[in-house]
Amino acid sequence: MSQDEFRDMLPGTAEFRLPEAPPPKKLNGRRPIPEKPDEQVAKLESTAGPEPDAIDVWDRRVADGLAFLRRRLAGAYEVDEFGFDPELTEAVFHPMLRVLYRDWFRTEVFGTENVPGHGPGLVVGNHSGTLALDALMLTVALRENHRHLRLLGADLVFRVPGMSELARAAGATVACNPDAERLMTNDQLVGVFPEGFKGIGKKFSDRYKLQRFGRGGFVSAALRTGTPIVPVAIVGAEEIYPILADLKPLARLLGVPYFPVTPTFPVLGPLGLIPLPSKWLIEFCPPIPTAHLTEYADDPLVVYNLADQVRETIQATLHELLQKRPDPFAR
């Protein structure tokens, strides 16, 4: 007889089972945390770091917010010669815009490696969407790439009370060659939309058809400073406020370039200002070097040819992005 058979013959041995652990008792209405085996505890302690206390996180946020308000009220913050306020942009403007960028428009970005990581650069894009939300989304996309984009805006933006101060605090300045050249000389990344109001005010039937680029002033500014030009194509802005008609008499009466009629505005009043949730794609094209062309900054033939090259690059990239996004409101 083997030892195993002998052990099985002993009374009560085969039916023996370890007693089950009693259910944990509630202490002060709370269920205690069950104990873990020693080897699991050791594993958890070696892999998991300390979890922050939720109360401590909110205390820190409140303290940071109060410190921010104290600095603003005391004037203890810096702005540059154009009025750019990096702290206000990082703490207020960009967090609000990121909600639209990530959640509402579900933006996808391609070709960020074509944007200079340091030094000057001139980002040239197509303009559309009734309101200049494409410019704001472009600043968020580049900030995700750790660079601030200094936008060049139309004169109208800086004539409207309140809007002028906000635009300058966010880093924008008037679209003129002297300001653009000063920014690029200071190694800033500058953004420009040569279509201007012709781009954002065009009808939905003309969507993604680039308008004329003007006299190419942005090219001459890049040539004078030897700054590379980075074309960028933006798909998605055309669908947020589709312009069905333009009430020109009313626009002249109000002193604005156009008065749009969209499917939601002015029928729904202020609710018509909510943009439709279109899917956005942004692609940065390979940069066009200009350092070897600085002596041709005043040559109209060189300026126009380079402007046409930028325009054709953006138009071709728009067609490619539209093929990637057959449904304007896809996830």
Q: pLDDT band at 75, cuts 50/70/90?
A: confident
Q: What residues contact 308, with CB distance under 8 A and at least 6 apart?
A: 213
> pLDDT averaged over the chain?
87
Span 149-167, average pLDDT: 93
pLDDT of residue 39: 55
Tell how far CA 171 is from the center of its chain: 15
Q: Identify the pLDDT of residue 55.
A: 67
pLDDT exceeds cutoff 70 at 330: yes
174 bridge partner residues? 153
Q: Over the Cα atoms of the chain, what is R_g?
A: 30
Assigned domain for 58 exists: no
* pLDDT category of residue 100 using cuts at 50, 70 and 90: very high
Please check whether residues 267 and 155 belong to one and the same domain: no
- Count the domains in the chain: 2
Do 104 and 119 lie in a common domain?
Answer: yes
Q: What is the mean pLDDT of residues 311-318?
A: 97
Q: What is the pLDDT of residue 210?
A: 95
Residues 6+ apart with CB under 8 A from 281: 107, 108, 109, 110, 234, 235, 236, 321, 324, 325
Residues 189 and 121: beta-carbon distance below 8 Å: yes
Share of the chain above pLDDT 90, in %: 72
Cβ atoms within 10 A of the Cβ of 126, count?
26
Helix/strand/coil for 121:
strand
Mean pLDDT of 97-103: 96
Q: Which residue type does 197 have?
A: F
Indicate whether 208 and 248 sit together in one domain. no
Compute the 3-state secondary structure of the chain and give helix, strand, coil in percent, each to the nearest 5.
Answer: 45, 10, 45
pLDDT at 38: 53
- How far, in Å, CA of 114 to CA of 105, rounded? 23
Q: Mean pLDDT throughout 42-61?
A: 65
Residues 296 and 156: their CA atoms lie apart, in Å, by 31
Is residue 153 domain-resident?
yes
* Residue 252, domain extent: 242-274
Mean pLDDT of 142-169: 92
pLDDT at 145: 81
pLDDT band, very low/low/confident/very high, at 160 (cuts 50, 70, 90): confident
Residue range 272-289, pLDDT digits in tens:
999 999 999 999 999 999
pLDDT value at position 7?
Answer: 56
Angle at which helices 177-185 and 217-225 cross, to 10°: 30
The answer on pLDDT for 297 being more than 70 is yes
Q: Which residues pair with 329 in a beta bridge?
A: none
At 319, phi and psi to the nearest 5? Answer: -60, -40
- Mean pLDDT confidence for 282-301: 94
Q: Which of 245, 246, 239 lies closest to 207 in space, CA to CA?
A: 239
Domain assignment present for 28 = no
Kindly state whether residues 229 and 264 are assigned to the same domain. no
Is 17 inside a domain boundary? no
User: Is the pLDDT at 319 greater than 80, yes or no?
Assistant: yes
pLDDT at 63 over 80: yes
20 or 260: whose pLDDT is higher? 260
| Same-domain status, 220 and 260 | no
Q: Tell me the pLDDT tens digit for each residue of 201-231.
A: 999 999 999 998 878 899 999 999 999 999 9
Q: Where are the beta strands (DSSP E) in the chain?
A: 108-110, 121-125, 149-153, 173-174, 189-192, 229-235, 245-246, 260-261, 281-284
> Encoding tokens for residue 205?
């039937």
For 143-159, letters b (16+ CB in 10 Å) and e give: beeebbbbbbbeeebbe
| Residue 207: C-alpha distances to residues 203, 236, 242 (Å) | 7, 10, 9
Backbone conformation region of residue 288, classed left if phi is above 0, alpha if psi is from -120 to 50, else beta: beta
Residue 30 predicted with pLDDT over 60: no
2 backbone dihedrals φ, ψ, rounded to 5°: -80, 165
- Contact, 206 vs 251, CB < 8 A? no
- 78: in domain: no
Claim to verify: residue 179 and residue 104 sit in the same structural domain: yes
Same domain? 152 vs 265: no
Asked whether residue 171 falls in the same domain as residue 262, the answer is: no
For 181-204, what is the mean pLDDT?
A: 95
pTM of the predicted model, to two decimals? 0.81
Assess whether pLDDT exceeds 70 at residue 74.
Answer: yes
Q: Are residues 156 and 256 in the same domain?
A: no
| Confidence (pLDDT) at 11 | 56
327 within domain boundaries: no
Same domain? For 157 and 258 the reply is: no
Q: What integer pLDDT is reported at residue 262 of this predicted model?
A: 96
142 plus 163 within the same structural domain: yes
Give the chain's length. 331
> What pLDDT score does 146 carry?
84
Instruction: Identify whether 77 is part of a domain.
Output: no
pLDDT band at 60 (very low <50, low <70, confident <90, very high): confident
Is 139 contained in some domain?
Answer: yes
Instruction: Say if residue 23's pLDDT is above 70.
Output: no
Whether residue 259 sits in one domain with residue 135: no
